[in-house]
């Protein structure tokens, strides 16, 4: 109603229309996102594509153990913790190792993964994501990271994006991996946000399940045929902003 009155005024008092236009725009901004308090982002596959480096490092380990790891098999590792990923890779190859050897192999894989990650520069952030994070900041919506990775901070520093996040929940903090909701519930608590007023951006089915179990809106980044439980799936952050979120 307020907007209608203002619009009528702007019609009858054209000399004030510019000022009123900006006032209306400000009001619209708050009406678009009245209920979103925080956005929580997965890292790998949402902010940056490190999956290719995980794949190279796991594949080298598999080959060293005498078997190959296909790209399709690697899909099963997305969003899954390092040690759980190791168990899956070993089961694919039918290889059994002692607990000490598992820890040694996981550490070696991580060292190789980090070596590959050091090739990244700020240009490697996925298209449109920086712009979207800027838009959130400009609209007073808090941002948090919710990742299974223990390397999240170092990767965000590498692509110069650490400063975007008001909290980081990563593999060093969580005790239960995705699809458990812990990672995103911790993020919401850090940001003093009600889970029902949080939006999660995820590229892995396990992460979408985690977001839904936390009672949050889940935006899948990728393909709808894979992210079947998401509230909406978009290919990426290009052409995506707060206006598109409103229409979900
Ligand atoms: P790290 P996300 C996940 O990151 C990756 O998708 C998954 O492939 C990886 O195993 C996991 O992090 C642990 O990573 O070995 O660096 O601790 O998608 O949850 O951001
Ligand atoms: Mg991911």
**Does residue 42 carry a catalytic annotation?**
yes
Residues 6+ apart with CB under 8 A from 199: 36, 38, 39, 40, 216, 217, 218, 219, 245
Of the bound ligands, which one is closest to the alpha carbon of residue 151? 1
Residue 94 has a pLDDT of: 98
Residue 199 has a pLDDT of: 97
Residue 89 CA to ligand 2 center (angstroms) comes to 18
What are the pLDDT digits (tens) for 49-80? 999 999 999 999 999 999 999 999 999 999 99
Residue 247 has a pLDDT of: 79
Copy the structure tokens of residue 97.
């190792």
Do the beta carbons of residue 219 and residue 205 sit within 8 Å? no
Of the bound ligands, which one is closest to the alpha carbon of residue 45? 2
CA–CA gap between residue 10 and residue 214 (Å, rounded): 45
Nearest to 105 by CA among 50, 61, 153, 60: 61
Q: How far is CA 218 from CA 41, 129, 204, in A?
A: 10, 16, 11
Residue 6 has a pLDDT of: 31
Do the beta carbons of residue 146 and residue 200 sit within 8 Å? yes
Average pLDDT for runs of 10 along the chain of length 248: 30 39 47 75 97 97 98 92 97 98 98 97 97 96 97 98 98 96 98 97 96 97 95 95 85
Q: How far is CA 81 from CA 17, 32, 50, 87, 239, in A?
A: 55, 36, 14, 10, 31
Distance of CA 67 to the CA centre of its chain: 32
Do the beta carbons of residue 32 and residue 243 sit within 8 Å? yes
Q: Which mutation among 51, 54, 187, 200 tests ligand 1's pocket best, with the greatest number of atoms within 8 A of CB?
A: 54
Residues whose beta carbons lie less than 5 angstroms from ion ligand 2: 42, 44-45, 79, 203-204
Q: How far is CA 51 from CA 74, 132, 143, 149, 188, in A?
A: 9, 22, 22, 11, 26
């Amino acid at each position: 109603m307020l907007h209608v009155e203002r619009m009528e005024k702007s019609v009858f008092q054209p000399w004030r229309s510019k000022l009123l236009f900006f006032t209306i725009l400000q009001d619209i901004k708050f009406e678009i996102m009245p209920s979103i308090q925080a956005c929580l982002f997965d890292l790998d596959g949402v902010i940056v594509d490190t999956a290719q480096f995980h794949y190279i490092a796991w594949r080298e380990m598999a080959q060293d153990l005498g078997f190959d790891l296909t790209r399709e098999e690697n899909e099963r590792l997305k969003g899954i913790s390092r040690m759980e990923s190791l168990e899956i890779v070993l089961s694919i190859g039918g290889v059994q190792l002692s607990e000490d050897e598992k820890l040694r192999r996981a550490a070696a894989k991580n060292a190789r993964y980090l070596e590959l990650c050091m090739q990244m520069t700020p240009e490697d952030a996925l298209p449109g994501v920086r712009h979207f994070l800027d838009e959130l900041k400009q609209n007073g919506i808090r941002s948090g990271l919710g990742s299974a990775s223990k390397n999240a901070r170092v990767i965000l520093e590498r692509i110069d994006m650490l400063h975007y996040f008001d909290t980081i929940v990563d593999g060093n903090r969580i005790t239960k991996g995705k699809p458990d909701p812990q990672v995103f519930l911790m993020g919401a608590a850090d940001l003093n946000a009600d889970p029902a007023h949080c939006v999660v951006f995820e590229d892995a089915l396990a992460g979408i399940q985690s977001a839904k179990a936390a009672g949050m809106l889940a935006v899948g980044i990728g393909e709808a045929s894979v992210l079947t439980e998401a509230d909406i799936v978009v290919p990426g952050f290009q052409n995506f902003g707060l206006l598109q979120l409103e229409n979900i």
